[in-house]
């Protein structure tokens, strides 16, 4: 069974069809890449899967359940987490606090369904324990990314590469089963990209499935187990990196057709 899939998902903005009947799938424990030229509808598809946008038609399934049209915060509780193309950190909060926010809903209300009223009082008296719990959790993640020594800096003061890492750390703080990365390597130099590739592999090895949008072909071809290609809102190919590299439709989408 696929961990996440969309069934003929369409998103139209008035007359513009940004995503047209795409049936995307991501498997458990794999890194799935989503590539395509600019304006192909990658981010729109991402937003529709993560609840920031509602599809015009079609369905999204996560672990076999229909999650079409769910709110973003609800999906986050089900185990989906994401980063953004243009970094969206809580810039006036410290690095540590940014990550602690990711653990927000899990603290003090373990199954976050029952005993809400009771939990109000529990939280009031157990504030110290809760904070401790979130602190430990957040520090572990910062250590995973090797930025624990920056924990007291304001997020906006971090260098760009660290901001990208922090955003991933924050996304991981909600203990997701699937992590969406929207252009994680944008604006990074080759060394930083290599480092990022290793990090993404390490994330997968902890058991988190990854879906990523990326333009850097070196990164995509090296770490993805599966790649889906979009062009003009249509899915034109799906397969392993090797298959995608040799797919004539993909080559045409990126390089254009030979005029003979």
Partner 1 sequence: MFNFFLLILIYTGIYSLMSMGQNLMTGYTGMLSLCQAGFFAIGSYVTAILTTRYGFSFWATIPLSAMMAAVFGILIGLPTLRLKGDYLAIATLGFGEIVRNVLNNWDSLTGGPMGIQRIPMVKFFGFTINPYKKIAFLVMVWIFVLVFYIMFERLGRSRMGRALQAIRDDEIAAEAMGINTTKYKVWAFAIGAAAAGVAGSLQTVYSLSVTPASYTFMVSVLVLCMVVLGGMGNFAAVILGTFIIQLISYFPQLVGLSSVIPAQFKQILFGLILVCMMIWRPQGIIGTRSYMVGKNRVKMEAADELA
Q: Which is nearer to partner 1, 22 or 134 (CB)?
A: 134
Q: Which two tokens stand for residue 230?
A: 């979009």
Nearer to partner 1 among residue 89 and residue 197 (C-beta): 89
Report the relative pairing of strands 80-82 and 65-66 from DSSP bridges.
unpaired
Q: How far is the CB of 169 from partner 1 (least distance, A)?
A: 12
Q: Tell me which of 2, 21, 84, 234 binds partner 1, using CB under 8 A.
A: 84
- Burial status of residue 133 (CB atoms within 10 A of its CB: 0-12, 13-18, 19 or more): middle
**CB 171 to partner 1: min, Å:** 8
Query: In Å, what is the CA distance from 174 to each residue of 68, 73, 99, 180, 234?
Result: 21, 11, 9, 13, 32
**Least distance between partner 1 and beta carbon 184 (Å):** 15
Q: Which is nearer to partner 1, 81 or 228 (CB)?
A: 81
Verify binding: residue 66, partner 1, rule CB under 8 A.
no
* CA atoms of 196 and 100, how far apart (whole Å): 22
Considering only residues 36, 41, 55, 108, which one is a binding residue for partner 1 as defined by CB under 8 A?
108
Q: Pick from 162, 22, 30, 173: which is nearest to 100 by CA?
A: 173
Q: Which is nearer to partner 1, 86 or 191 (CB)?
A: 86
Q: Are strands 57-62 and 65-66 parallel, antiparallel or unpaired?
A: antiparallel
Separation in Å, CA 90 to CA 65, 105, 166, 173, 223: 31, 17, 11, 14, 29
Region from 37-45, 59-67, 84-92, 204-212 binding partner 1, contact rule CB under 8 A: 84-92
Q: Which two tokens stand for residue 244?
A: 């995608």
Identify which range of 2-10, 166-174, 198-206, 207-215 contacts partner 1 by CB under 8 A.
Answer: 166-174
* DSSP summary character for residue 4: E
Q: Is 85 in the site for partner 1 (CB under 8 A)?
A: no
| Nearest to partner 1 of 136, 252 (CB atom) | 136
Count CB-CB contacts under 10 A for residue 112. 13
Taking residue 129's Cβ as centre, other Cβ atoms within 10 Å add up to 13
How far is 216 from 220, CA to CA, in rounded Å?
6
How many residues at the interface with partner 1, by CB under 8 A?
Answer: 41
Answer yes or no whether residue 152 interacts with partner 1 by CB under 8 A.
yes
Q: Which is nearer to partner 1, 13 or 254 (CB)?
A: 13
Q: Which residue ranges make up the site for partner 1 (CB under 8 A)? A: 50-52, 71-73, 76-77, 81-82, 84, 88-94, 96-97, 100-102, 104-105, 107-108, 123, 127, 130-131, 134-135, 139, 151-152, 154, 170-171, 173-174
């Amino acid at each position: 069974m696929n961990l996440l899939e969309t069934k003929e998902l369409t998103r139209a903005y008035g007359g513009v069809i940004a995503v047209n009947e795409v049936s995307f799938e991501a498997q458990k424990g794999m890194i799935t890449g989503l590539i395509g030229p600019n304006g192909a509808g990658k981010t729109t598809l991402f937003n529709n899967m993560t609840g920031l946008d509602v599809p015009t038609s079609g369905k999204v399934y996560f672990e076999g359940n229909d999650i079409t049209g769910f709110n973003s915060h609800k999906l986050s509780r089900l185990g989906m987490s994401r980063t953004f193309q243009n970094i969206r950190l809580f810039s006036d909060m410290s690095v540590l606090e940014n990550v602690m926010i990711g653990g927000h809903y899990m603290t003090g209300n373990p199954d976050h369904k029952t005993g809400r009223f009771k939990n109000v009082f529990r939280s009031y008296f157990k504030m110290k324990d809760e904070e401790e719990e979130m602190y430990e959790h957040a520090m572990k993640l910062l250590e995973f990314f090797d930025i624990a020594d920056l924990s007291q800096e304001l997020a906006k003061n971090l260098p760009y590469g660290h901001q990208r890492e922090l955003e991933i750390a924050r996304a991981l703080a909600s203990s997701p089963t699937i992590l969406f990365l929207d252009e994680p390597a944008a604006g990074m130099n080759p060394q930083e990209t290599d480092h990022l590739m290793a990090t993404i592999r390490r994330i997968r090895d902890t058991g988190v499935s990854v879906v990523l949008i990326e333009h850097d072909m070196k990164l995509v071809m090296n770490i993805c187990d599966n790649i889906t290609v979009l062009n003009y809102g249509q899915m034109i190919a799906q397969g392993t990196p090797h298959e995608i590299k040799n797919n004539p439709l993909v080559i045409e989408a990126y390089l254009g057709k030979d005029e003979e």
